[in-house]
Amino acid sequence: MIDIEVEDAAWTSALPDAEALVRQAAEAALASEGADGEGVTLLLADDAAVRELNARFRDKDAATNVLSFPAPPNPERHLGDVALAFGVCAREADAQGKPLSHHLQHLVVHGVLHLLGYDHMSEDEAEVMEGLERVVLAGLGVPDPYAAGEGEHD
């Protein structure tokens, strides 16, 4: 089950189809790993909310584009939660010259892949994760976010 919570109306003001875009990207990421029946919660928040989560759980007092919080194994098959900050995402999309819709779908795929156990702490891990992101995004009609070296994450 995919649960989408829109906490910041700026998301739907900028992208009236934000929830559909998020659902489509999450479903594609889950399907890519055969995890179609798994549950995730996606929060479309503002920068302040994501900054608070980042400070509380990662000791980083700054907003970031996307945060993933994997859940421990559970009978409900809930993989975890993903939070996205509108302001950060919108500024990044603008700076990178790409549609916010594409950037949103990229970051949803990225966040869900974290919930599925992927990471980018080492160069080898990043190569695997980014390769899978490219494949999933291509299936959604989203161009390679790493082609211009602009898809990095902290």
* Whole-number Å distance between alpha carbons of 154 and 152: 7
pTM for the full predicted model: 0.94
The pLDDT confidence band at residue 154, using thresholds 50, 70 and 90, is: very low
Taking only the tens place, the pLDDT of each residue in 88-131 is: 999 999 999 999 999 999 999 999 999 999 999 889 998 999 99
Please give the average per-residue pLDDT across 63-87, as a whole number.
96
Task: Give the pLDDT score at 153.
Answer: 52
% of the chain residues with pLDDT over 90 = 92
- Confidence label for 152 from pLDDT (cuts 50, 70 and 90): low
8 A C-beta contact, residue 102 and residue 93:
yes
Domain architecture of the chain: domains with CATH: 2-139 (3.40.390.30)
Collapsed DSSP state (helix, strand, coil) of residue 126: helix
Residue in 1, 38, 28 with CA at minimum distance from that of residue 104: 28
pLDDT, one tens digit per residue, over 5-57 is 999 999 999 999 999 999 999 999 999 999 988 999 999 999 999 999 999 99
The sign one gets for the Cα dihedral 113, 29, 55, 73 is negative
The per-residue pLDDT for 149 is 57
What strands, in cross-sheet order, belong to the sheet with 39-45? 2-6, 39-45, 78-85, 66-70
Burial class (CB in 10 A: 0-12, 13-18, 19+), 129: buried
Task: Decide if pLDDT at 139 tops 80.
Answer: yes
pLDDT of 70 over the 70 cut: yes
**pLDDT for res 148:** 65
Cβ atoms 107, 84 nearer than 8 A: yes
Q: C-alpha dihedral over 124, 127, 129, 131, to 10 degrees?
A: -150
